[in-house]
């Protein structure tokens, strides 16, 4: 791999490591860790997403932010910078996954680990993904090997109201370190057959789509009343209603699992009635009601799969949805739904959408800037622009080719995945337990 300290000999590089160790020891005494070093990624073609392709580009990262992005001839290398040679590579923004279950459905999938669906009742607005995300999930390392840097980690779709989602960066030993400061997160809702399956089998509510919608409508009405009264009236807080009030006030986004066209319209009907910020999730039959979605300007985060089926509501799912929605003028993101599709092949999902008729530009936006917008993080994420977080992915070639490899993933100026390290390759290709990865 042609990264390294350009212009320095091996000896100096080794001593650099020693100096680095000393600095690291010194840093241990002085928290928080400093990211003062200037790092330059030099020579790669840049796909900034916010603008046109830059051939032979240069990226300067400083203090966790992008300090400069442009053609190499137009961007000065700051003195003292560590320069990595990436000629022949392609750099894209860190990938943003708008629908993931990393840490909630960790590897391995055994009941001891599964914390995605609180199926003790169908309305769970009070539960938070934050309280169950396992930062040690090997899936997080696998996602980094796929270039994913930011994720909306959501409860599952077994409940009509699944709980509060968390917007995180895929780094850190604690969920506090992972959580994106200032982000509120979303509220997960679901309709269609999953909640029916969970509760219908027990002869509990909901058993029908009518009841699914009724439970959601009831929650929103109770939250309206709670808000109007300024609380319960007797001074007690209601932790189940507070996040729903945030939804009504527009500070928390509803991420709504919905597949069938009529289910999509039910979600839109609730949104029309209560006026919340809505991202439709999955949207398998979105092509059938693209005009209804477009008319409202509602964003869609879609899933792309190898085949349809597996359940009735996914029977019409196809790779054409992204293209149809794009042409209808709907904002489109593409998600992994990890572990439904593997995060380490996240770019493949976008590539299959291109196969299905989406433009390459829109498909790349769908896993970067458009995705960030749906999480209301586009001010700081999703494109290679000075001032934004230094989250990026170094690719061996064009982003939508099967032959392309994710070489490196960077979050806020730190390299969090490096394929050239044999101990890390297993995260990209598999067998990470057998080869004893860190």
Partner 1 sequence: MRRAPGLLLALCLGLVAGRTGAEILVVDADRLHPGNGPVIANGRVVIRDGRVSAVGPRASTPAPSGPVRQLRAAVATPGLIDVQTSVGLSGLYNVAADQDQDERSDPNQAGLRALDAFHPSDPLVRYQLEHGVTLIQTGPGPANPIAGQAGIFRTHGNLADAMAVRPVSALVFNLGEAPKRTYGKDHKLPVTRMGTAALLRRALLDGREYAAARGRAGGGLFGGDEKPPDRDLAKEALARAAAGDLPAIFVAHRADDILTAIRIAREYNLRFALAGASEGWLVADAIREAGAPVLVGPVMERVSAPETLNASYENAARLEQAGVRIAIRSGFESYVPKTRIVLFEAAVAAANGLGREAALRAITLGAAEVLGVDDRLGSLEPGKLGDLVLFDGDPFEYTSHVSAVVVAGELVHQR
Shortest gap between Cβ of 152 and partner 1 (angstroms)? 19
Q: Which region among 12-20, 51-59, 249-257, 343-351 touches partner 1 (by CB under 8 A)?
A: 343-351
Q: What is the DSSP string of 250-261?
A: TSSEEEEEE-SH
Question: Using omega within 30 degrees of 0 as the cis cutoff, is the peptide bond preceding 339 cis?
Answer: yes
Q: Which of 2, 15, 55, 109 binds partner 1 (CB under 8 A)?
A: 109
Which DSSP category does 278 fall into? E
Report the residue number, 10 or 436, with the smaller CB distance to partner 1: 436
200 part of the interface to partner 1, by CB under 8 A? no
CB of 216 to partner 1, least distance (A): 23
Is residue 190 within the footprint of partner 1 (CB under 8 A)? no
- Asked whether position 220 contacts partner 1 by CB under 8 A, the answer is no
Count of residues binding partner 1 (CB under 8 A)? 41
Which residue of 11, 30, 202, 403 would you call a contact of partner 1, by CB under 8 A?
403
How many residues are listed for the chain in this entry? Answer: 438
Nearer to partner 1, 78 or 342 (CB): 342
Could you write out the DSSP letters of every residue in 367-412?
A: TTHHHHHHTT-TTTSSS--TTSB--EEEESS-TT-TT--EEEEEET
Task: Give the number of other CB atoms < 10 A from CB of residue 227.
Answer: 16
Q: How far apart are CA 273 and CA 61, in angstroms?
A: 45
Binding mask 344-363 for partner 1 (x = CB under 8 A): -x--x--xx-xx-x------
Residue with Cβ nearer partner 1 (243 or 339): 339
Give the angle 433-425-168 at the CA atoms, nearest 5°.
Answer: 85
Binding pattern to partner 1, positions 246-285, x when CB under 8 A?
----------------------------------------
Q: Are 425 and 144 in contact (CB under 8 A)?
A: no
Residue 170 binds to partner 1 (criterion: CB under 8 A)? no
Strand order in the sheet with 278-282: 161-164, 186-190, 253-258, 278-282, 299-303, 332-335
Chain positions contacting partner 1, by CB under 8 A: 105, 107-110, 142, 305-312, 314-315, 317, 320, 339-342, 345, 348, 351-352, 354-355, 357, 400-403, 426, 428-434
């Amino acid at each position: 791999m042609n990264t390294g300290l350009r212009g320095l000999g091996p000896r100096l590089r080794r001593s650099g490591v020693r100096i680095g160790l000393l600095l690291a020891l010194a840093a241990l005494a002085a928290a928080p860790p400093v990211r003062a070093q200037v790092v330059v990624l030099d020579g790669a073609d840049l796909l900034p997403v916010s603008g046109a392709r830059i051939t032979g580009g240069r990226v300067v990262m400083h203090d966790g932010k992008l300090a400069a992005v442009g053609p190499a001839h137009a961007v000065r290398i700051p003195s003292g910078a560590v320069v990595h040679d990436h000629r022949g590579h392609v750099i894209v923004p860190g990938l943003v996954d708008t629908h993931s279950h990393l840490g909630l459905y960790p590897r391995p999938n055994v009941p001891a680990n599964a914390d995605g669906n609180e199926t003790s009742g169908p309305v769970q607005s009070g539960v938070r993904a934050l309280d169950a995300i396992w930062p040690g999930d090997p899936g997080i390392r696998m996602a980094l090997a796929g270039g994913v840097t930011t994720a909306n980690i959501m409860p599952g779709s077994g409940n009509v109201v699944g709980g509060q989602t968390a917007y995180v960066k895929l780094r850190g030993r604690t969920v506090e370190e992972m959580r994106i400061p200032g982000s509120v997160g979303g509220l997960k809702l679901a309709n269609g057959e999953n909640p029916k399956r969970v509760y219908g089998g027990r002869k509990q509510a909901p058993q029908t789509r009518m009841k699914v919608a009724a439970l959601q409508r009831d929650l929103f009405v109770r939250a309206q009343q709670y808000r109007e009264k300024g609380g319960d009236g007797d001074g007690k807080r209601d932790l189940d209603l507070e996040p729903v009030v945030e939804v009504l006030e527009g500070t928390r986004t509803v991420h709504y699992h919905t597949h069938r066209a009529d289910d999509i319209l039910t979600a839109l009907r609730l949104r029309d009635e209560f006026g919340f910020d809505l991202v439709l999730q999955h949207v398998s039959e979105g092509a059938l009601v693209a005009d209804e979605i477009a008319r409202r300007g509602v964003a869609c985060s879609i899933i792309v799969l190898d085949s349809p089926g597996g359940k009735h509501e996914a029977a019409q799912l196809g790779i054409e949805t992204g293209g149809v929605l794009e042409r209808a003028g709907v904002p489109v993101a593409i998600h992994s739904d990890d572990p439904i599709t593997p995060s380490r092949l996240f770019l493949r999902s976008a590539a299959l959408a291109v196969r299905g008729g989406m433009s390459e530009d829109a498909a790349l936006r769908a896993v970067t800037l458009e995705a960030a917008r749906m999480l209301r993080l586009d001010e700081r994420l999703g494109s290679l622009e000075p001032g934004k977080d230094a989250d990026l992915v170094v690719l061996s070639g064009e982003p939508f080719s099967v032959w392309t490899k994710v070489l490196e993933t960077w979050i806020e100026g730190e390299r969090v995945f490096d394929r050239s390290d044999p101990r890390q390759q297993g995260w990209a290709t598999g067998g990470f337990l057998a080869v004893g990865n860190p």
